[in-house]
Structures are given as structure tokens and as C-alpha cells.
């Protein structure tokens, strides 16, 4: 008993447990490695956002190392670069390279930094990577510039970036907590100075946003800014060679022609970094496998200047979307057929995909795509399987009930065939996978006559079977000795028409054979005519002019009487025979029935019936019709 209660409780709890597990996985973002791919897809599909011309990238590439020497290049060249850009009127110069160790020409570099008053230098923290932390915290410095440079530069900021779980770089911590204070990302600091805003006024709401003046910068759950990438390297921002700038600056003094007009750097924010082959500052991002890390400074500057950011929908919002989509999918699946449900699911998926991409393009909002899409497919498959199992169980129950009904129906039919001298009698009824309203009966009378009735109730299934049972019972009452066939049908019709509240009716053909006189009397109530074959193979259709189906309205039934001879065959049948249909939608028909009966070649009655049914099955091998003969 306890085991049954536990099993029943588990039965009721299993669906809520599965649902809660699905929602928990969504809320915990355990499928983020796949979701990040959908983010990359949105970057590729959208139209490239507008970018500012106020920021330029200065590359220390292969050409620079070839012209100025191996890395690290002499610091007097850095001094020349700073002087060239400062004299050209650059607003600021952001270095993405360190000067952490003393070197030759440090005096020149210090002097250039001091005179410029617009140089920003980086440092790197040793960050504590705590799982689930709301913001980045530093234990100590990992790499720091020489103090002499720090005393004369415009400002310093960290350049720490975090790889996502797939190894790509898509986000940066604009602020890192160290010793209870917040330290800015270097390009965040430089952009704030460019906008005339003090980075010290930034207010961070961990895991939500940073407020700075009129700026409200959305953050992810770990207080990182998601980078709003503009495209592939070299497409969105102007790039210049480090060595070309240095050469253009010194060219007039040595009698050479400048490669660049340095005036183009007026009022620009210049970001200096490495792109040379083999350098360590190359990272994968949504667009490329090797993307120079200092390019992210341009993206930070552009986002802060334009106010266009990437914001991810909250866990609660994604959860709500998942629930709504699941409800819509459930309604569509449970109320439609599988193929239509699949089509609706595809429409839901396409609509959701299009909406997510559109929202990303217009507002930069990142709504989870992978997990809801996957769950909807699995949800549809589960619901469809549930429907199939439910229908299967219902079908099993129905088949069991139909089998019981079939046995009850068969109990109303004669359990044995009557024996009449001079007559060979055989009857068969095959109901395939359903029950119906076909019926037949025999009435052997004391005067040696034999009554034979065949009928067909309109409709199929249980209602027809129940009506058939009533017809059989009432027929036994009216088919009394000495009562003519037309009188039997007339009385049965009146009874059915008055007392039956259903819309069903029955066709019936009733014959009374007198073997002594070799006569047969018959009457027809809307049934198919009886086929009579004589010994020579000639056929005749037995019918009367008056007689409607029984159970509809009061009607007059006609009767006939005729002589028959030894060797005559009488074939009674229902429309399950004549209306059998093949794959070409052709009906079996009465002519084919007569042909099959003649082809039996004088078999006994059982042989004739077997030959007819075999021919019908060859004609319509997949039929589930009810055949009675």
C-alpha cells in the first residue's frame, strides 16, 4: 500500500519536477556556451552600427618591426610618436603596452609624456575569479608602469578582459574593485575625460548598470560591459602604421617626403597597440579568431560616445519569455494534429528568432535564443509523445470495449445454422476492426417452412450495434408462423418508427422458404435485392416494388411469391460487399458479385461464400468494411 501511494505521488510530481528543472537550467544559464553562438550570429546578421571618426588605431605591425627593429622597440620611438601626435593636435593617446621595466631612452619618453599631457598608460591586475561574483576584484597588480611615467601621464587604467566559456572575448570590467576602491578600464577613463566627466563620479550597481552623469551603462551579471562590436578588424575605424607616423614626423628634418599628413590626427583619440605576427595581444571574438585586443578600446569609446550598448535580458525576463512560449506551444500542440502542430511550432520559432534579431538590431537587447528554441522543440516532442501515448491508451480501451460489444453483438446472431431438408445453408459475417449494424436471422416453423432475414442498420459502431440488437429482438416477435413476409416487415417498421428515438434505420429483406411446395415468399424493406442463380447459371434479382427502410415512417410493404427448382442458389448480402472500394476508388458492385458466385462452379454454399469473400479481399486488400453474406 505504501509503495502504491509513493508511486502515485511520484506520478503527480514527475511533471512539476521536470518543469522546475527546465526552468532552473534556464535561470542558471547552464547552456550559455551555445547561447553565446547565437549572440555572435546576431552580430553577423545585423547591419554594422555607425562608428565615430574621433578614434583612430595605431598599429605596431609587421612593417613597424621591420622598419624600427625587433620588439620591444626602442623607447625613443615612443617618444617620437607621442611628440608627433601631440604636435598634430591629438586629444589623447592611449597606450595598450607596458613600460614596467627600466630601459634606454626613458628620459626622452618621460619628457614626451610630460609635455603631451594627454598620454594614458595601462596596468594589469591579478584578479580573483570567484564563481558567481557580482563584480571583479583584484588581489594585487600583475603588471605596472614605472613610477616615473605614472607621475607624468594623464591617467592610468587597467586592461583586464575576461574570456567567455568558449574562449572568445566579448566583455570587459569597466570598474575593478581593489582595496575598497574602483579602478577604471583605461579607455573608459580616457573617454570620460574626453566627455568632460570625472570617472570618480561613476556609481555602480553591481550586476545591473553604471551611472555616470547622463550615461547609464548596462552590465551583465558579473558587472562587465558587453562589447558592442562594430565588425571585423580594419572595417570600422581608421588604422595607421606606427612607423608611418614616426617617419612622417621626422621626414622634414632629414629631407624626406612624409607618408602621412599628421594633421589628420587633430582632435583624435589615438589608441596604440600590437598587431604584429606572433604577438600575444591577439584574441578570438565574435568576428575573428585573431583580433587585436587594443581594438576593444575603440569599441568602448564608440559605445560611450554614441550611447549604444549591448544589454542582456535579465534571468527573470528570459524565464518569463520561456514560460509564455511554452504555454503557446502547449496550446498549439495539444489542440492540433502533429503535422499542423509542427508547422505552428516552426512559425513560433521563426517569429521568436526574427523578433530577437530585430530587438537586438534596434535596441541592442540580447534575449536568450538557444535554450528557449531547444526547449520548445523538446517540449513539442514531449507533448506529441504524450498525445500519442494518451491516444494509444484510449484506443486500447476503446478496442477492448469494442471487442466486448462485438461479442455481445454476435450473441444476438444465430449460434448455429438451421437444418432444412433439401437446403444447404451457410452464413458468414466479418466485421474486421469494428462493430456495425449488419444482422441476419433464421426462423424455423413447425409447418416445415424456414424464414431467412438479412438486414443492415444505417451507420457503424456501437449505436448501430445497439440498434441491431433491438431489431433482432423485435423481429423474433413479429416473425410468427403463418405471417407473410410483408406483414412481418410492416409490423417491425411500425414498432421501430414509434419507439426508436435515434435517427437510425434498418434495411431488411425477409424470405420464407417452403421446401415441400418449392416456393419462396419474400418482402423487401429498402435492402439490396437477393440474387437467385439457377442450375444453368442464369441470374435473377429478387425485389418488390414497395418497401422503404424500417424505422423512419409508416410504410406499405409489398410481397411476392415464386417457384424455385432444385439447384437454385439464393445469395443474400449487405452493401459491405457491393460497396467495397479498391485503390482506384472503384466499387466492387453487384455484377462482380454475381460473376464471383458463378465462378464458384457449383460449390456447396460454404464454397460459394468463401469464393465471394476471397474475391472481395483481392479487390480491396486493405478494407475494414463489414461483409455479410
Query: What's the pLDDT score for residue 66?
Result: 93
The DSSP symbol for 571 reads E
Candidates 303, 172, 281; CA nearest to 230 is 303
Candidates 114, 78, 120, 126; CA nearest to 96 is 120
Q: Does 4 have pLDDT greater than 60?
A: no
More confident residue, 241 or 401: 241
**pLDDT tens digits, one per residue of 517-527:** 999 999 999 99
Instruction: Return the C-alpha torsion angle 197, 199, 204, 207, nearest 10.
Output: 100
Residue 238's Cα: distance from chain center in Å? Answer: 44
Residue 301: pLDDT band (50, 70, 90) is very high
Query: What's the pLDDT score for residue 213?
Result: 85
Query: Any residues with CB less than 8 A from the CB of 556 and at least 6 apart, and which?
Result: 490, 546, 547
Q: Which long-range contacts (CB under 8 A, 24 or more apart) does 314-320 make?
A: 315/26, 315/27, 315/29, 315/221, 317/367, 318/26, 318/27, 318/367, 318/368, 318/371, 318/372, 319/23, 319/26, 319/27
**Could you give the CA distance from residue 489 to residue 479 in angstroms, rounded to a whole number?**
9
**Could you give the CA distance from residue 431 to residue 505 in angstroms, rounded to a whole number?**
19
- Angle at which helix 242-254 crosses helix 75-88, to 10 degrees, equals 80
Q: Residue 469: in which H helix or E strand, if any? A: helix 461-478
Give the number of other Cβ atoms within 10 Å of residue 251's Cβ. 15
Please, what sign has the CA dihedral across residues 342, 348, 351, 354? negative
**pLDDT tens digits, one per residue of 216-225:** 999 998 999 9
Relative to beta strand 238-241, strand 92-95 is unpaired
More confident residue, 304 or 430: 304
**pLDDT tens digits, one per residue of 418-461:** 988 889 999 988 765 466 778 999 999 988 899 999 999 987 77
**Could you give the CA distance from residue 209 to residue 205 in angstroms, rounded to a whole number?**
5
**pLDDT tens digits, one per residue of 551-593:** 999 899 999 999 999 889 999 999 889 988 888 889 999 999 9
Q: Does 626 have pLDDT greater than 50?
A: no
Residue 388: pLDDT band (50, 70, 90) is confident
Residue 108 main-chain phi, psi, to 5 deg: -65, -45
More confident residue, 129 or 151: 151
Please, what sign has the CA dihedral across residues 601, 606, 612, 618? negative
User: For the chain, what is the mean pLDDT?
Assistant: 88
**pLDDT tens digits, one per residue of 349-376:** 899 999 999 999 999 999 998 888 888 8
Query: What's the pLDDT score for residue 624?
Result: 47
Query: Any residues with CB less than 8 A from the CB of 523 and at least 6 apart, and which?
Result: 484, 485, 486, 488, 489, 509, 510, 544, 547, 557, 558, 559, 560
Q: Does 334 have pLDDT greater than 80?
A: no
Q: What angle do CA 213, 219, 220 make, to 5 degrees?
A: 175
| DSSP per position, 135-180 | S-EEEEEEE---HHHHTTSSEEEE---EE-TTS-EEEE-SEEEETT
Please, what sign has the CA dihedral across residues 594, 599, 601, 606? negative
**pLDDT tens digits, one per residue of 226-248:** 999 999 998 899 999 999 999 99
The answer to whether the CB of 246 falls within 8 A of the CB of 75 is: no
Residue 332: pLDDT band (50, 70, 90) is confident
Query: What's the pLDDT score for residue 511?
Result: 97
Residue 538's Cα: distance from chain center in Å? Answer: 65
Lowest-pLDDT choice from 117-126, 129-138, 214-223, 547-556: 129-138
Determine if the peptide bond prior to 549 is cis (ω within 30°). no
Q: Residue 271: in which H helix or E strand, if any? A: strand 269-274
Query: What's the pLDDT score for residue 17?
Result: 63
Q: Does 530 have pLDDT greater than 80?
A: yes
Q: Which fold has domain 415-628?
A: Phosphatase 2c; domain 1 (3.60.40)
Specify the length of the chain in residues.
629
Amino acid at each position: 500500500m505504501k509503495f502504491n501511494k509513493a508511486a502515485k505521488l511520484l506520478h503527480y510530481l514527475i511533471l512539476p519536477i521536470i518543469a522546475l528543472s527546465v526552468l532552473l537550467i534556464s535561470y542558471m544559464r547552464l547552456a550559455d556556451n551555445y547561447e553565446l553562438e547565437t549572440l555572435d550570429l546576431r552580430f553577423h546578421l545585423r547591419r554594422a552600427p555607425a562608428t565615430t571618426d574621433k578614434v583612430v588605431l595605431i598599429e605596431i605591425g609587421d612593417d613597424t618591426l621591420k622598419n624600427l627593429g625587433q620588439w620591444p622597440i626602442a623607447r625613443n620611438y615612443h617618444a617620437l610618436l607621442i611628440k608627433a601626435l601631440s604636435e598634430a593636435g591629438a586629444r589623447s593617446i592611449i597606450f595598450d603596452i607596458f613600460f614596467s621595466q627600466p630601459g634606454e631612452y626613458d628620459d626622452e619618453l618621460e619628457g614626451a609624456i610630460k609635455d603631451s599631457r594627454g598620454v594614458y598608460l595601462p596596468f594589469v591586475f591579478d584578479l580573483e575569479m570567484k564563481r558567481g561574483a557580482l563584480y571583479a576584484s583584484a588581489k594585487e597588480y600583475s603588471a605596472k608602469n614605472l613610477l616615473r611615467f605614472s607621475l607624468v601621464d594623464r591617467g592610468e587604467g587597467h586592461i583586464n578582459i575576461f574570456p567567455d566559456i568558449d574562449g572568445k572575448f566579448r566583455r570587459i570590467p569597466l570598474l575593478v574593485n581593489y582595496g575598497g576602491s574602483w579602478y577604471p578600464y583605461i579607455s573608459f577613463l580616457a573617454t570620460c575625460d574626453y566627455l568632460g566627466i570625472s570617472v570618480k563620479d561613476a556609481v555602480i550597481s553591481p550586476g545591473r548598470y553604471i551611472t555616470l552623469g547622463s550615461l547609464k551603462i548596462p552590465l551583465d551579471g558579473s558587472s562587465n560591459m558587453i562589447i558592442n562590436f562594430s565588425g571585423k578588424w580594419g572595417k570600422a575605424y581608421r588604422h595607421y602604421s606606427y612607423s608611418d607616423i614616426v617617419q612622417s614626423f621626422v621626414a622634414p628634418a632629414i629631407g624626406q617626403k612624409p607618408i602621412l599628413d599628421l594633421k589628420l590626427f587633430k582632435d583624435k583619440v589615438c589608441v596604440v597597440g600590437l598587431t604584429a605576427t606572433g604577438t600575444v595581444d591577439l584574441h578570438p571574438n565574435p568576428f575573428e579568431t585573431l583580433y587585436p585586443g587594443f581594438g576593444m578600446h575603440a569599441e568602448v569609446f564608440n559605445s560611450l560616445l554614441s550611447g549604444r550598448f549591448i544589454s542582456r535580458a535579465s534571468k527573470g525576463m528570459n524565464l518569463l519569455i520561456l514560460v509564455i512560449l511554452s504555454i503557446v506551444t502547449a496550446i498549439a500542440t495539444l489542440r492540433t494534429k502533429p503535422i499542423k502542430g509542427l508547422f505552428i511550432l516552426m512559425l513560433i520559432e521563426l517569429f521568436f528568432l526574427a523578433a530577437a534579431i530585430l530587438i537586438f538590431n534596434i535596441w541592442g537587447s540580447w534575449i536568450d535564443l538557444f535554450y528557449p528554441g531547444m526547449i520548445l522543440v523538446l517540449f513539442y516532442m514531449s507533448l506529441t509523445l504524450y498525445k500519442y501515448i494518451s491516444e494509444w491508451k484510449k484506443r486500447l480501451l476503446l478496442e477492448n470495449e469494442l471487442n466486448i460489444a462485438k461479442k455481445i453483438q454476435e450473441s444476438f446472431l444465430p449460434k448455429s445454422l438451421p437444418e432444412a431438408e433439401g437446403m444447404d445453408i451457410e452464413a458468414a459475417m466479418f466485421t474486421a476492426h469494428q462493430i456495425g449494424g449488419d444482422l441476419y436471422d433464421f426462423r424455423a416453423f413447425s409447418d416445415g417452412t424456414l424464414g431467412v432475414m438479412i438486414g443492415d442498420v444505417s451507420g457503424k459502431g456501437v449505436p448501430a450495434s445497439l440498434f441491431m440488437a433491438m431489431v433482432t429482438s423485435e423481429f423474433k416477435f413479429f416473425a410468427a408462423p403463418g405471417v407473410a413476409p410483408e406483414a412481418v416487415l410492416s409490423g417491425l417498421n411500425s414498432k421501430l418508427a414509434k419507439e426508436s428515438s435515434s435517427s437510425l434505420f434498418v434495411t431488411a429483406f425477409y424470405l420464407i422458404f417452403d421446401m415441400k411446395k418449392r416456393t419462396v415468399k419474400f418482402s423487401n424493406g429498402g435492402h439490396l435485392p437477393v440474387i437467385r442463380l439457377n442450375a444453368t447459371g442464369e441470374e435473377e434479382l429478387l425485389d418488390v416494388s414497395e418497401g422503404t427502410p424500417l424505422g423512419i415512417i409508416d410504410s406499405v410493404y409489398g410481397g411476392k411469391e415464386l417457384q424455385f427448382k432444385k439447384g437454385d442458389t439464393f445469395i443474400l448480402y449487405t452493401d459491405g460487399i457491393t460497396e467495397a472500394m479498391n485503390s482506384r476508388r472503384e466499387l466492387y458492385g453487384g455484377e462482380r458479385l454475381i460473376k464471383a458466385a458463378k465462378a464458384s462452379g457449383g460449390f456447396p454454399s460454404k464454397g460459394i461464400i468463401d469464393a465471394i469473400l476471397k474475391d472481395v479481399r483481392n479487390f480491396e486488400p486493405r478494407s475494414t468494411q463489414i461483409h455479410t453474406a
